[in-house]
Amino acid sequence: MPNNYKQLIENNKSWAQKKKEYSPGYFENLKLRQEPNFLYIGCSDSRMPLDTFTQTEPGELFVHRNIANQVSITDINFLSVLDYAVNVLRVKHIIVCGHYGCGGVNAAYHGFARGLVGNWISPIRDIARKYKEELDAIQDEEQRLNRLSELNVLKQVGNLYKTHVIQQAAAEGKLDFQIHAWMLDLSNGLIMELAFEKTQQKAPLKSN
């Protein structure tokens, strides 16, 4: 694992050289435009670069990441990304992706976080309170936190439907994209899709 920033630059040079050798026109084509089919909303966790797990190339994913993959309807940064993805890039899929072992979910559940981080993840505490009975019935703490991570992703999908961007697209009959709820299991590198009501999320469902 690199611990010197100069190593990152050297790695970049090596990567770029290999790309040019394998595909001489790679960077010429890359700089022309971006036409991604996917908007990825994920966690800032350093273990969560979805392009690695999905073997996608630069230009194939439009990305927004924050602590614990929150869809905040008051976050202008996120709303701008969503607006651009839907109305300019015309993405075909919007993915909210959480992961098991999420530090933000764990901190929210145990009340560890303070300051701005504590404020940011406070909605997860609300989810934990809402589903307290279900969560308390899970004896193993790791599995309990995993379920809370799933509930968090499903809640964020619900928040997507509350945004002006999505509601306007629906009102104009331009809801020509699909919304997905994903969980990444870092213990095996696999993605699992969660089920939810496709029109307007009313209550989280069991994972597939």
pLDDT at 195: 93
Condensed to tens digits (0 to 9), the pLDDT of residues 131-170 reads 999 999 999 999 999 999 999 999 999 999 999 999 999 9
β-pair type (38-43, 93-99): parallel
Within 13 Å and on the Cβ side, how many CA atoms surround 206? 1
Strand 38-43, strand 178-185: pairing: unpaired
- 66-119 pLDDT, tens digit per residue, is 999 999 999 999 999 999 999 999 999 999 999 999 999 999 999 988 899 999
pLDDT reading at 199 higher than 60 = no
Going by DSSP bridges, is the β-strand pair 93-99/190-194 parallel, antiparallel, or unpaired? unpaired
Instruction: Give me the residue spans of the domains in the chain.
Output: 1-32, 34-194
- Going across the sheet that includes 178-185, the strands are 61-66, 38-43, 93-99, 178-185, 190-194
pTM score, two decimals? 0.88
CATH of domain 34-194: 3.40.1050.10
| Structure tokens that stand for 204 in this block | 């989280």
Catalytic residue IDs: 43, 45, 47, 99, 102
